[in-house]
Amino acid sequence: MVALLFATPPGVTRTTAPDAPDAIDKYIAHEMARQHIPGLALGIYVNGRIVRAQGYGLSNVELDVPVKAATIFQSGSVGKQFTSAAIMMLVEEGKIGLDDSLPKYFPDAPPTWRGITIRELLSHTSGLSEYASDSLTGPGGPLSYRADYTEEQFVKVIETLPIEFAPGEGWEYRNTNYLLLGAVIRNVTGKFYGDFLQERIFRPLGMTSTRIISEADIVPNRAAGYQLVDGKLKNQDWVAPLWNTTADGALYFNVLDLAKWDAALYGEKLLHKSSVDQLWTVVKLKDGTPNKHHYGFGWGIDSVNGHRVIEHSGSWQGFETHIARYVDDRVTVVVLMNLGGANPTRIAHGVAGLFRRGLSTPADTAGF
């Protein structure tokens, strides 16, 4: 197993305690061996500044390429937080209302959508079905991972799906909600959501490696995604290109760029504090109770030993990701991995506890 520690970027002070790297290295080596993870990138930020950006293992097994801090991984659903931020930018500009009904943006929407709002898409309380379910993408289904669909075609299929519960009366995590939010961004701005993110978030923050997935483009430092099949490492399954352009989590990024995102969330460069607070407020159901996952807008809200943590995981095409922001401690841990089905949340929490006492539970490092 290769472990590479890269120099701190200019202007950044390394604050990791001398004995912390050894414990963290050993823990990550233990978890990578236990979970059979080919490669992993770790970012630890304090007050939005990098204190550790490190690669472990291989980004490409066939070519024996090690992971480094600049290695690019797929985001999976960690990308949803950028979509929710984009929506809130448009809310601040008065172009979208959180309580707007979906037919305002989808004139051909079925009658069942009249009670669904933008707020309910953001919080997964809409009641919409999962468009990427096995039943819909399997043999005979209306969608196939091997075929391309435009955003409009995806929406047309979603309009035919049943509602699982009345809007605002339950919570179920559905990628459908964020695909539709991407379509809302296009309807309001006239721009593909990925172009909007580049213009309003990535370029202003200097996130030069973050972009929409494209397997056709030449992308320096791109990791390969893997899966375990009968205990053997295999390349990720191929999907048609347009499946990698939806707003539910289709980004490339690395731990260096995510440090810039983390720093921006402490200030008001992108959004007013009141908007960020909404992202991180547990949405209540119509009966006044918090949703069962304690979900806000593109983030889950929880606490560990009294330490508030705002976090999200991602999973897609042989990649697993997690970002955990211990906002009151001003510590963030990011874990990016290239093995589908692995558990980045456990590793992110375990690293947080090794970095600063109290930020994890014994379960996160059990067996280590």
For residue range 200-252, list pLDDT tens digits in order: 999 999 999 999 999 999 999 999 999 999 999 999 999 999 999 999 999 99
Judge whether residue 143 has pLDDT over 60: yes
Task: List pLDDT tens digits, range 25-54.
Answer: 999 999 999 999 999 999 999 999 999 999
Q: Model pTM? A: 0.93
Residue 21 pLDDT: 56
Whether the per-residue pLDDT at 62 is higher than 60: the answer is yes
pLDDT digits (tens, 9 = 90+) for 243-275: 999 999 999 999 999 999 999 999 999 999 999
Taking all residues of the chain, what is their mean pLDDT, rounded to a whole number? 94
For residue 22, what pLDDT is reported? Answer: 87
Is residue 1 over pLDDT 90? no
pLDDT at 20 over 90: no
DSSP collapsed to 3 states, the chain: CCEEECCCCCCCCCCCCCCHHHHHHHHHHHHHHHHCCCEEEEEEEECCEEEEEEEEEEEECCCCEECCCCCEEECHHHHHHHHHHHHHHHHHCCCCCCCCEHHHCCCCCCHHHCCCEHHHHHCCCCCECCCCCHHHHCCCCCCCCCCCCCHHHHHHHHCCCCECCCCCCCCCCCHHHHHHHHHHHHHHHCCCHHHHHHHHHHHHHCCCCCEECCCCCCCCCECCCEEEECCEEEECCCCCHHHHHCCCCCEEECHHHHHHHHHHCCCCCCCCHHHHHHHCCCCECCCCCECCCCECCCCEEEEECCEEEEEEEEEECCEEEEEEEECCCCEEEEEEECECCCCHHHHHHHHHHHHCCCCCCHHHHCCC
Return the pLDDT at 2: 33
Q: What is the pLDDT of residue 9?
A: 35
